[in-house]
Amino acid sequence: MLGQQMTREVLFLEEILKLQQKIIPEMIELIEKRYNILRNIYYNQPIGRRVLARNLELSERVVRTEINFLREQNFIDITLPGMTITSEGEEIIDKLKDFIHEIKGLSELENSLKKKLGVKGVIIVPGNSDEDITVLKELGRASANYLKSILHDRQIVAITGGSTVKDVIDNIFKINNLNNVMVVPARGGMGRNLETQANTLVSNLANKLNCNYKLLHVPDNLSTEAMNAMMKEKDVKEVLKIIDNADILIYGIGRANDMARRRGLAADEINHLIDKGAVGEAFGYYFNRQGEVVYSTPTMGIRNEQASKIEHLIAAAGGKCKAEAIISTEINNSNSVLITDEGAAREILRLFNEH
């Protein structure tokens, strides 16, 4: 009976939302605008009015009007360093998040993409990270919440590097009740930015989970001879064995040409990749539009055939520009949960409908 009552209440709420959208569409737009302002302040606090206006591509006059309203409602504080969110503001952000999710029809979009991609699940956050960088932080928060929901004792968590995975780790709060959890990098290191390298993120996550970790000090693009020699090292063999038994893999998704440049591939190699139809990249593998591997970078760690056997895959990526890359890496990935943003999700659906 209780379940039926809750279902009726949800359906009633959805009807009210649909009516509001038809009768007072400007009210929905205003709520969404204020939610975006609060979210932007939350992730960038303390922040000044001018920077906020630039982030949201709004005029300073509009931002000033909205800020005055939000301050009167005690949702924000304004100090010399800039604006910050109050505890009441944080509470309203959490409540508005679900409201925005429903009025934008993101639940229906999640179900549609789940079926079309053939994945375990899809979680969509409002907005497009191509236009608003704070959407990536919200995406990281959603990914962190999902990770916490599946994390339990005696698991091995493998993670790749990258700015999106960093946002996931940044949004995990200290957990002290886990036993025998191990965190490892999924692949060898990449890039010059130490903050987003897998080894750094492994250490940060292990500190938050209060658990053990192992590092893999192996660069990308090693020669076959160098890689074979390193794989004979006792410490490297030990880490690779742990990676082979990963229960959870968290990874970002990139566009093939962007990731090839970051990994230091030569121009002729990049052109060869494009000629072979590569559009997306995940954990060192390059995929074409049909989800087939066309190239992989020579390094140690998770192999594509291993990934399909891992119980929990968490793919975190957003932005309309990454839609094709997401399709290529996630199509028929039945043990994967895709966590993305509205911009990417709607473009993915458009591409499916188009083809």
Q: Are residues 95 and 113 in the same domain?
A: no
d(CA 186, CA 350): 32
Give me the chain's average pLDDT, please.
88
The DSSP code for 75 is S
pLDDT for residue 220 is more than 80: no
Report the CATH number at residue 223: 3.40.50.1360
pLDDT(83) > 50:
yes
Per-residue model confidence (pLDDT) at position 187: 84
CA atoms within 13 Å, Cβ hemisphere of 2: 0
Question: For a pLDDT cut of 70, what percent of the chain falls above it?
Answer: 92
- Could you give the count of Cα atoms lying within 13 Å of 135 in the half-sphere of its Cβ? 23
Q: Are residue 160 and residue 227 in the same domain, yes or no? A: yes
- Identify the domain boundary among 86, 103, 120: 103
Where is average pLDDT lowest: 116-120, 122-126, 255-259? 255-259
Q: What is the pLDDT of residues 262-288, one digit of tens each?
A: 877 888 888 888 899 999 999 889 999
| Residue 72 shares a structural domain with residue 179 | no
* Dihedral in degrees, nearest 10, Cα atoms 278, 281, 284, 286: -20
- Three-class SS state of 246: coil
From 45-54, 167-176, 189-198, the region with the lowest mean pLDDT: 189-198
What confidence category does residue 224 fall into, taking pLDDT thresholds of 50, 70 and 90?
confident
Predicted pLDDT at 17: 64
**Same domain membership, residue 111 and residue 67:** no
Whole-number Å distance between alpha carbons of 274 and 189: 24
CA distance 265 to 276: 15
Q: Which of the four pLDDT bands, split at 50, 70 and 90, describes residue 101?
A: confident
Domain that holds residue 54: 2-103
pLDDT at 88: 94
The pLDDT value given to residue 133: 87
Q: Which of 85, 103, 121 is the last residue of a domain?
A: 103
Listed residue (183, 207, 185, 182) closest to 196, CA to CA: 185
Q: Note the pLDDT of residue 28.
A: 78
User: Do 68 and 178 fall within a single domain?
Assistant: no
- Tokens representing residue 166 in the block: 């960093």
Any idea what the Cα angle at residue 323 is, between residues 26 and 124, rounded to 5°? 50
pLDDT (average), residues 142-164: 95
Residue with the larger pLDDT of the pair 264 and 252 = 252
Residues whose CB is less than 8 angstroms from the CB of residue 39 and which lie 6 or more positions away in sequence, other chains included: 93, 134, 138
pTM above 0.85, yes or no: yes
Summarize pLDDT for 156-187 with one digit per residue, the tens.
Answer: 999 999 999 999 999 998 988 899 999 999 98
Question: How many angstroms separate the CA atoms of 187 and 172, rounded?
Answer: 22
Average pLDDT over residues 118-140: 93
127 touches 142 (CB < 8 A) = no
**178 φ/ψ sector (left φ>0, alpha ψ -120 to 50, else beta):** beta
Closest by Cα among 309, 281, 277 to 296: 281
The three-state secondary structure class of 207 is helix
Q: Which of 82, 103, 124 is the last residue before a domain boundary? A: 103
The C-alpha R_g of the chain, in whole angstroms, comes to: 22
Residue 2's pLDDT band (boundaries 50, 70, 90)? very low
pLDDT at 5: 53
The total number of structural domains in the chain stands at 2
Residues 6+ apart with CB under 8 A from 327: 117, 280, 289, 291, 348, 351, 352
Give the model's pLDDT for residue 264: 78
Give the pLDDT score at 39. 92
pLDDT of 297 > 60? The answer is yes
> Are 90 and 116 found together in one domain?
no
Q: Are residues 258 and 331 in the same domain?
A: yes
Bridge partners, residue 316, by sequence: 252, 339
Local confidence band at 153 (pLDDT 50, 70, 90 cut-offs): very high
